[in-house]
Amino acid sequence: MPSRKFADGEVVRGRWPGSSLYYEVEILSHDSTSQLYTVKYKDGTELELKENDIKPLTSFRQRKGGSTSSSPSRRRGSRSRSRSRSPGRPPKSARRSASASHQANIKEARREVEVKLTPLVLVLVFILIQPFVFPFMYVFTRITCTSNVHELFAGVFLIMFGLPVFLFLLLLMCKQKDPSLLNFPPPLPALYELWETRVFGVYLLWFLIQVLFYLLPIGKVVEGTPLIDGRRLKYRLNGFYAFILTSAVIGTSLFQGVEFHYVYSHFLQFALGATVFCVVLSVYLYMRSLKAPRNDLSPASSGNAVYDFFIGRELNPRIGTFDLKYFCELRPGLIGWVVINLVMLLAEMKIQDRAIPSLAMILVNSFQLLYVVDALWNEEALLTTMDIIHDGFGFMLAFGDLVWVPFIYSFQAFYLVSHPNEVSWPMASLIIVLKLCGYVIFRGANSQKNAFRKNPSDPKLAHLKTIHTSTGKHLLVSGWWGFVRHPNYLGDLIMALAWSLPCGFNHILPYFYVIYFTMLLVHREARDEYHCKKKYGVAWEKYCQRVPYRIFPYIY
């Protein structure tokens, strides 16, 4: 007779069918034929469970407030209530306690419909994203490529006010226990609750520390791409050193007992502080650009004040050798993002009373850390991106770099603090493979193009086919860039998906980044195609014939 692991009357934890949640149960009996245990939950629900779905109490740490020992139905309204199978809802085979009210059943049913739909919705979003985002992209492209004053004015205002509001709505939604669309809009805090001068002071301190690291005379100095007048600006590459120094400061502060939970508990206040700072910076940038010589203006600037405030007027605003745009692109926001992720990891351990972070949190943190470290390690590659070569420094980039990146890109980690998701090892392995595939494409494509732009006659690139353009530059038509146009965007997008998957399928919220990023890259690709067509003319058309595949073929 096969032996049984748990005895009658033993108190253990039983997995709720269809979910990854475990609740305290008492073993009532064991059927040696079916090898099933009959267990009783605290609310009286009796179920039959396999041995694999039962774990001894010692494999769990007790949570503060004893919430882990709650019965499934008592946990309604707690953060677990939106799991893929609600723990409070019995499967058909369950003998349910008669106390469940009709009202609660209706609520459960509503949640069930949403939850069951979520994976389907995700799949649909991925398939249909391109036609869906068309209207938005149309408006955005009109704004960035139009010269119609009314369109510019309306669109730019919409984005400048809409984006911060949207950011706060997302953060507030994520703070809800059940951030489903059924609970939209989230409760709004009073404005005065969002502002804290001390928080703003901490933010300024962070910014100044990064300025200090940027100014350190370490790291090599390189030249950027030629400007319109043939000049080449010098840039010091010390982003990676700044990251190491920041890590040392953060590590020392942790060791000294600095309470990093303050950042989590004042997250919205930090987001507001960063937004205010960004607005002040944008005003300064616009004012100083009015005195800038014509040659220093961005090719994207239009002469329309509102549009130029938004898109940026001056291409490379500098105070002495301090390059404001270059600094903001990689330092306070990007390094800030991984620091915020670390804060979320610590907050998860504290709030969920975990001895170690969840696997989901570890995946999200490591993936995004790799992304940031990669960007800083390959800092020189920034010099050939559209942000540096083409776009001026105004509200769009300032808000993107200083607010959007740290507060939206850390969204998955923020989500996991209050919406735990257990990821199995097989699932984690698949996600890691996906992330690595994305990374190989992303890094391969970016490095190939950067090496080629830096030195077109590099012997290592001699095997690549190119076509000549009337500007004197060549375009790659083989290697990564012969496989599809903008292969780097494809890799980036795959990685973005891998960042969201550890958050599970209970809500669409952690997938916001992938959806938003798809929209951003759709727009970027369209914008770049437009500029390259203008810049390279016939040669670009030839390139398009040689490489007809685009990653977003249905749009534009």
CB of 269 or CB of 412, closer to ligand NDP: 412
Beta carbon of residue 520, minimum distance to ligand NDP (angstroms, whole number): 6
Q: Does 540 bind ligand NDP (CB under 6 A)?
A: no
CB of 422 or CB of 528, closer to ligand NDP: 528
Pick from 211, 206, 212, 213: which is nearest to 240 by CA? 213
Beta carbon of residue 299, minimum distance to ligand NDP (angstroms, whole number): 12
Q: What is the DSSP letter of 297?
A: B
CB of 96 or CB of 524, closer to ligand NDP: 524
Which residues inside 500-519 make contact with ligand NDP, applying CB under 6 A?
none
Q: Which stretch binds ligand NDP (CB under 6 A): 152-160, 279-287, 318-326, 473-481?
A: 473-481
Q: Which of 367, 481, 513, 516 binds ligand NDP (CB under 6 A)?
A: 481
Beta carbon of residue 525, minimum distance to ligand NDP (angstroms, whole number): 8
Pick from 66, 19, 24: which is nearest to 43 by CA? 24
Which residues inside 43-72 make contact with ligand NDP, applying CB under 6 A?
none
Q: Does 360 bind ligand NDP (CB under 6 A)?
A: no
By CB atoms closer than 10 A (0-12, 13-18, 19+), residue 179 is buried
Q: Which stretch binds ligand NDP (CB under 6 A): 47-55, 177-185, 312-320, 482-490?
A: 482-490
Retrieve residue 543's tokens.
Answer: 């390139």
CB of 489 or CB of 505, closer to ligand NDP: 489
Instruction: Give the CA distances from residue 506 to residues 15, 79, 85, 437, 511, in Å, rounded to whole numbers and listed in that order.
Output: 17, 11, 9, 25, 10
Which residues inside 124-153 make contact with ligand NDP, applying CB under 6 A?
none
Q: Does 542 bind ligand NDP (CB under 6 A)?
A: no
Instruction: Count CB atoms within 10 A of the CB of residue 148.
Output: 12
Instruction: Give the CA distances from residue 148 to residues 34, 138, 156, in Å, rounded to whole numbers and listed in that order.
Output: 74, 14, 12
Q: Which of 19, 488, 500, 518 binds ligand NDP (CB under 6 A)?
A: 488
Which residues inside 300-339 make contact with ligand NDP, applying CB under 6 A?
none
SS3 state of residue 64:
helix
Beta carbon of residue 455, minimum distance to ligand NDP (angstroms, whole number): 13
Beta carbon of residue 489, minimum distance to ligand NDP (angstroms, whole number): 5
Q: Which of 528, 542, 544, 556 binds ligand NDP (CB under 6 A)?
A: 528
Cis amide linkage into residue 185, ω under 30° from 0: yes
Sign of CA dihedral 196, 202, 205, 210: negative
Q: Does 442 bind ligand NDP (CB under 6 A)?
A: yes
Three-state SS across 352-414? Answer: CCCCCCCHHHHHHHHHHHHHHHHHHHCHHHHHHCHHHHCCCCCHHHHHHHHHHHHHHCCHHHH
Q: Does 532 bind ligand NDP (CB under 6 A)?
A: yes
Beta carbon of residue 469, minimum distance to ligand NDP (angstroms, whole number): 8
CB of 100 or CB of 476, closer to ligand NDP: 476
Q: What is the DSSP letter of 550?
A: B
CB of 349 or CB of 555, closer to ligand NDP: 555
Q: Which of 63, 175, 454, 473 binds ligand NDP (CB under 6 A)?
A: 473
Q: Which stretch binds ligand NDP (CB under 6 A): 63-71, 293-301, 446-454, 500-508?
A: 446-454
Q: Which stretch binds ligand NDP (CB under 6 A): 75-83, 176-184, 235-243, 526-534?
A: 526-534
Distance CA 527, CA 300 (A): 11
Q: Does 475 bind ligand NDP (CB under 6 A)?
A: yes
Bridge-based pairing of strands 234-236 and 221-223 is antiparallel
The residue to which tokens 């979910």 are assigned: 19
Ramachandran bin of 246, using left for φ above 0, alpha for ψ from -120 to 50, beta for the remaining angles:
alpha
Which residues inside 366-395 make contact with ligand NDP, applying CB under 6 A?
384-386
Q: Does 533 bind ligand NDP (CB under 6 A)?
A: no
Q: Which of 63, 74, 318, 453 binds ligand NDP (CB under 6 A)?
A: 453
Q: What is the DSSP string of 221-264?
A: EEE-S--TTS---EEE--HHHHHHHHHHHHHHHHHTT--THHHH
The residue to which tokens 């960063």 are assigned: 274
Q: Which stretch binds ligand NDP (CB under 6 A): 247-255, 298-306, 311-319, 527-535?
A: 527-535
Retrieve residue 181's tokens.
Answer: 């669309």
The residue to which tokens 């149309």 are assigned: 138
Beta carbon of residue 156, minimum distance to ligand NDP (angstroms, whole number): 20
Instruction: Count CB atoms within 10 A of the CB of residue 436.
Output: 15
Q: Does 524 bind ligand NDP (CB under 6 A)?
A: yes
SS3 state of residue 26:
strand
Beta carbon of residue 363, minimum distance to ligand NDP (angstroms, whole number): 18
Pick from 192, 209, 18: which is nearest to 112 by CA? 18
CB of 228 or CB of 386, closer to ligand NDP: 386
Beta carbon of residue 92, minimum distance to ligand NDP (angstroms, whole number): 46
CB of 126 or CB of 200, closer to ligand NDP: 126
The number of residues in the chain equals 556
User: Tell me, what amino acid is at 553?
Assistant: P
Q: Does 408 bind ligand NDP (CB under 6 A)?
A: no
Q: What is the DSSP letter of 79?
A: G
User: Tell me, what amino acid is at 361?
Assistant: M
How many chain residues bind ligand NDP (CB under 6 A)? 20
Q: Which of 237, 476, 509, 526 binds ligand NDP (CB under 6 A)?
A: 476
**Residues interacting with ligand NDP, by CB under 6 A?**
384-386, 442, 446, 449, 453, 473, 475-476, 481, 486, 488-489, 492, 524, 528, 531-532, 543
